[in-house]
Amino acid sequence: MIKKRLSKLRALMARQGLDAMLITLPANRRYLSGFSPDDTQLGESSGALLIAPAAAVLLTDFRYRLTAQAQAPCFEVVVYSRGLAHSLGVLLNELRVKRLGFEAEALLFGQHQRLSEALPGVSWQPTLGFVSELRKFKDASEIKATEASLALMEAVLAQVMAGPLVGRSEREVALEIVRRIEDAGGEGPAFPPIVASGPNAAEPHAEPGPRVIAHGETVLFDVGAKVDGYCSDISRTIVAGGRAADDEQFRRVYATVRQAQLEALDGILPGMLGHEADAIARRIIDRAGFKGKFGHSLGHGVGLATHEAPSLGPNSDDMLEEGMVFTIEPGIYLSGWGGVRLEVMAVMEATGCRLLGASEGFLQP
């Protein structure tokens, strides 16, 4: 699998006239090598990949030596003691690299400046989307890992939604979700859980805070887990206190969002562009009288990162093709009241979208 991915990348490099490629984005580094550590803060790095036609090298420091050797058997592991620039310079000289591609979306300006000044004989060539172009097509093993992550997350969220919510703070519930993901065997959350109640749910990416959840309020959950590096990403919206506590406004908004989601699932086909997919759901919401209240894209790709190609949005020309995994997440947000978002994950197949995960767990309007 790793060798096949490297072969595809080398073909892209050859078409661009690159002698080698420097990979620094953690998700791309893992995809191409198996080396899994994350870079926990901006400007910090646990390593880089140098890929040439006849070489695959993982450069890292002493802290990650054993992990690199265990996780990246297809790579030569070089442990640098004098910094990345020194070891990289030695390798580039040995490999006679003149044109070096780098990930423009991943290398900070300051890092690029330091490296290019230290290696004046190399022409640094910015690239965009080289590896993400490969990552947007998922193979069977990637889909299997995604399904495992999704099953874990759906089970955890079902447990939390079935438990007591009224009288608890949003943050308290969010922390419970994190604990349950880890207790269930997940690597951890794919992103900080969103638990937004009442008027807070009108903000699509509200941060859980001290607000106490009240009876009869909408509660919007947006959560994800990681299993084998692969992310899940789902959203559900319920009423605190159960269906007996909902009202006509909630029922109308929820029914509209659910209809938009189901029609998108049924109508998105291979070869469709991202903006065409988005329009299927957006038309339903607009016609129901909520035009302008669905302020984000219909969906996005999910894999080693929670947001990756393709994009399903009003300005997207990404073509949706077989093997792509993405979310379908229409929503309606009303200031002062709250919001409803329903998010599922799907994989594109020859005849259309196949829903990943469970089809139940949604309220019947």
Q: Give residue 108's pLDDT.
A: 86
Q: The pTM is what?
A: 0.93
Residue 43: pLDDT band with limits 50, 70, 90:
low
What digits encode the pLDDT tens for the residues 203-251? 999 999 999 999 999 999 999 999 999 999 999 999 999 887 788 999 9
3-state secondary structure the chain: CHHHHHHHHHHHHHHCCCCEEEECCHHHHHHHHCCCCCCCCCCCCCCEEEEECCEEEEEECHHHHHHHHHHCCCCEEEECCCCHHHHHHHHHHHCCCCEEEEECCCCCHHHHHHHHHHCCCCEEEEECCHHHHHHCCCCHHHHHHHHHHHHHHHHHHHHHHHCCCCCCEHHHHHHHHHHHHHHCCCCEECCCCEEEEHHHHHCCCCCCCCCECCCCCEEEEEECEEECCEECCEEEEEECCCHHHCCHHHHHHHHHHHHHHHHHHHHCCCCCEHHHHHHHHHHHHHHHHHCCCCCCCCEEECCCCCCEEEEECCCCCCECCCCCEEEECCEEEECCCEEEECEEEEEEECCEEEEECCCCCCCCC
Distance CA 172, CA 352 (A): 39
What mean pLDDT is predicted for residues 39-62? 88
What mean pLDDT is predicted for residues 18-31? 95
Q: What CATH superfamily is the domain 2-135?
A: Creatinase/prolidase N-terminal domain (3.40.350.10)
C-beta separation of 204 from 312 below 8 A:
no
Is a pLDDT exceeding 90 seen at residue 283? yes
Mean pLDDT is lowest, of 230-244, 267-281, 289-303, for: 230-244
C-beta separation of 59 from 81 below 8 A:
no
C-beta separation of 308 from 132 below 8 A:
yes
What digits encode the pLDDT tens for the residues 154-173? 999 999 999 999 999 999 99
Q: Is the peptide bond before 310 cis (omega within 30 degrees of 0)?
A: yes
- The chain-wide mean pLDDT, for the chain, equals 94
Please state which CATH number belongs to domain 140-356: 3.90.230.10
Q: Is 292 exposed, middle or buried (0-12, 13-18, 19+ CB in 10 A)?
A: exposed
Residue 22: pLDDT band with limits 50, 70, 90:
very high
Tokens of 309: 């190609």
Q: Would you kindly state where each structural domain of the chain is located, as residue ranges?
A: 2-135, 140-356
In 3D, which of 1, 22, 21, 2 has the Cα closest to residue 12? 21
